Chain A
Amino acid sequence: MRTIVLMLLIVAPSAAQDSPDEGPFSTIELRAGGSYNINRNNIHDYWRPGYGGELSLATPFYFGIAEAGGAYHRYDVADPSVPRFDAILAFAGWGIPLSPSPYVSWYNGFRLGNNRMTFDVDTFAGIRTESEFILEVNSTLHLRLPQGFGIFGSARFSQTYTFIRFRTIYVTAGISYRTSSPRWIRTLLQ
């Protein structure tokens, strides 16, 4: 609950200040990046979150920007008593960009999704996976380059709602490409 309030506090002020000037779904942006975990807590007593990656699509929504995508993170063992696992996050998100110049934008938003964890051994009889609700707050600085390309860096706080909350902070750097939405995509999304 505190995370949700924090999320709203981050998003709400920026929502009042800026919104994209394009119409809904007028552009589509593909973002790809590599991620690295930077925090330390009880999860790190047992696992070493390694490098990961994320891929997402973003488009202007009726208000703000909507995004959807996925992320992959590998968790190698730090304690041999536990199994290794892979986490695949599928998410939908929304946020508000601040654009002080045509070349820079600062985006703050949140993501809701599912964190599917696949273990090397069974979690319960015959089952090796575990899915849980995940909430993320992310902040992204975006530099626009010619021809629709861009580079971005972001930090995101993730909370997976396991009984003992599974909290991670990742930093991500990557490239983006934005183009006008093809008609079929606009038809699909509108």
Chain B
Amino acid sequence: MTILRSFLCLYVVVASTAASAWDVCLEDMYTEVLRSEDIARSGAVRFTDLLALSDRWVGFSVDGYDWEISPSGLGLTQHQRFRVFVDDKPIPVALLGKSNLNLLPFHLHEVECVAIVSGPDARGPYFSPYGSIRIYTKHPEFGVTLHGGVSAGNEIDDPGPFHYTPMDSPNIDRLGPIGTVDISAASGRAFARLSGTVDEFHVTDDQVDLRAKQLYDADFKPRINLESQAFTARGGGQSVVLGRTTADDLLFFPSFGMEIPSTHNLEFAAASGYVEYGRASLEYHGGYLTHDLDRRGNARNLRLDWGERRVLGGLAAAVKEDWGGTRVGGSVESVGARTTQALSDPIVLITRLDAGVTVNLGRWRQAVFGQWSQADARPAAAGLYRAAFDIDSLNTLALAISYGRHLTESEGGLWIWAGRGFELPQPDSGVTAVLPFEPSPRMLTADLEWRTRPLREVSATARAYFRWFDGEYLPLHDLGFDAATAALVGNTSVIGGISGAIAGGGFTVDFSPISALRQRVTYNAEFPVHGDRNVTQSWNRIPDQRFIFTSTYSPVERFSLFARFDYRMATSWASFDRVAVESSGRYPAEFSDFLLLDVAASKRLWKDHLRATLVVRNLMNEPVRYHPTGAIFNMAFHFAVQVYFNSESGL
């Protein structure tokens, strides 16, 4: 009963920066939790690898490094509006509508757990109507700890020695190497940690390589190089994170079917904390973040000339009572453009006020949350109601309903800034990069979940959800293929007034017949039920049904085997219909269903000082493609080693 209640705890409103990682990593309504050990056993090495472990979020990618995400029907699949939090601090990694999680200057070894929220998230410090990823970093062991890791791998189908024969074939991607290191000092209640990551990503797949060759020298092999450093400290209810990332990125813009080489610099400093007075607490958060896109050398002298500076801060007061709690807060965020271009308004000032109440009455637990916000002179408001009812000791029913008018100014969208005068370098395309209206999307969401534990070894969740949206906007593409340059050409225009509705549902069953074996089966379905052709085509980009089976077998403490089957239905991209014909199928507009099988074996050695992991992805060797202009992914393997030394545990 206790476990079941903890699954459904609804301290949405009063949960705050005061909560420890252990508190916030409980599975909750429409929330998946990935824990450190599970992440390590799966062989994930990058933050975007976590998408492959999510049963509910769907990602699609051109190069395999930078993924667009559709979070469980929350908004049109073209928009990347989910929020990213690290230790409950907002870290907006999205820029110009692209959100690359790998820009986070941390590495997965630092992570205690990740909560992937597939519904409106009011945990704070501010409301995330389009879902969120919440990353919580580890509190290191007592003493001084040195932790490092390296991983590298390869995708199959290189030409090998046949390169020198008439049987030559294109070269294929290499994975990594990825190197990570961190050093930390910790007491029981406080710690400080310095960490760094270097990451190479080679995109040599023919589909990307041909386009990239238009931008670089003919012999250049396009690659992404990333370096990052971070500092994290916590103690006495206060928390600080500093970080910087430099990524030589290809920066593919699906909207235009082209890469714009850029060096992406991300720097931030953020702090949060609380002071308690009996049952009351005063919470704060603040941060400073800059994005800059520098020119990365290229033959066509393309340069994005873009950057952003964000300053944000907020205060909240919370009171916990026996019957629940209340919370009232407010925040201010300034988003400023950094460009030499003349914009009509280069700074947006966003203010937010929010309040919430949690009430626990016997078998009922309820929470109400409301937010009023304003971007410059434009107001918006949203509300969320959540409730859970324990039918009996083994069954719980949970409900969440939200409605709101949302601001788009803080999402870093390309079209928002284009509407203010920002022009993309478009030497070949006739892009109408102007947003001819002020977007004012409204969204209604309803989620219903039934969680049960019919047997001690089995727990199950059945869910249904509905999303209705209105006042949305979409970029529409009229794309063609230029055979002479192998590039995409065409026109893009932005339309507004899009409305539609999405219905979805599914179930998840966890069963553990023996303690060493944990298995999970998930089925998801998601369909548009209202809207015009644009809405239908938006959802055709993602599989409308998915079936996932995950198994982890740990016969002994230090050895584990991991397997994950992920079956996805067919997808189609209507805007590429003409391109598919003109390119003779090089850029297809339809993809058939496929089954991905990933396996991993992980062994801890030398009293946990070493860990070795061997991963084979796409073991069935399905030629998987997520985007018409994207690479084809075949079977790939990689090998990872971690070392770990702590001054107190000795050798």
Contact surface of A with B, Cβ cutoff 8 Å: 1, 4, 24, 42-43, 45-47, 62-63, 75, 81-83, 85, 92, 112, 114, 117, 119, 123-125, 130-133, 160-164, 166, 187-190
Contact = CB atoms under 8 A, between A and B. Distances in A.
Contacts of B579: none
A81 B621 CA distance: 32
Given A4-B619, A124-B221, A164 B162 contact: yes
3 closest A-B pairs by CB: A162-B160, A161-B156, A163-B169
Contacts of A83: 164
B605 A85 contact: no
Interface string B88-132: 000000000000000000000000000000000000000000000
B164 A46 contact: yes
A130 B160 contact: yes
B637 A112 contact: yes
A161 B558 CA distance: 30
Contacts of B556: 24, 62
Given A75-B161, A162-B157, 11 more contacts: A46-B164, A112-B614, A117-B161, A130-B159, A130-B163, A132-B154, A132-B160, A161-B635, A163-B169, A166-B161, A187-B607
7 contacts: A42-B167, A46-B164, A62-B555, A131-B158, A162-B158, A163-B157, A190-B605
Interface in B453-470: none
A131 B637 contact: no
B556 to A, nearest CB: 5
B221 A82 contact: no
A124 B221 CA distance: 9
Contacts of B558: 190
Contact of B158 (A4, A62, A75, A130): A130
Interface of B: 154, 156-165, 167, 169-172, 174, 219, 221, 555-556, 558-559, 605-607, 610, 614, 616, 619-621, 635-637, 639
A148 B605 CA distance: 26
A124 B614 CA distance: 28
A114 B606 CA distance: 24
A92 B614 contact: yes
Contact of B635 (A117, A133, A162): A133
A178 B582 CA distance: 65
B357 to A, nearest CB: 53
B169 A164 contact: yes
Contact of B154 (A112, A124, A125, A133): A133
B253 to A, nearest CB: 27
Contacts of A132: 154, 156, 158, 160
Nearest to A83: B164
Nearest to B610: A188
A47 B620 CA distance: 30
Contacts of A112: 614, 616, 637
B606 A124 contact: no
Most chain B beta-carbon neighbours within 10 Å: one of A81, A82, A161, A188: A161
Nearest to A112: B614
A43 B167 CA distance: 10
Contacts of A124: 171, 219, 221
Contacts of B163: 123, 130
Contacts of A114: 154, 639
Contacts of A130: 158-161, 163
Contacts of A133: 154, 156, 635-637
Contacts of B164: 46, 81-83, 119
A83 B164 CA distance: 8
B154 A131 contact: yes
B620 A163 contact: no
Given A112-B637, A161-B156, A162-B158, A62 B606 contact: no
A85 B158 CA distance: 16
A161 B256 CA distance: 35
Given A125-B219, A132-B156, A166-B160, A63 B637 contact: no
A28 B160 CA distance: 34
B468 to A, nearest CB: 44
A153 B161 CA distance: 28
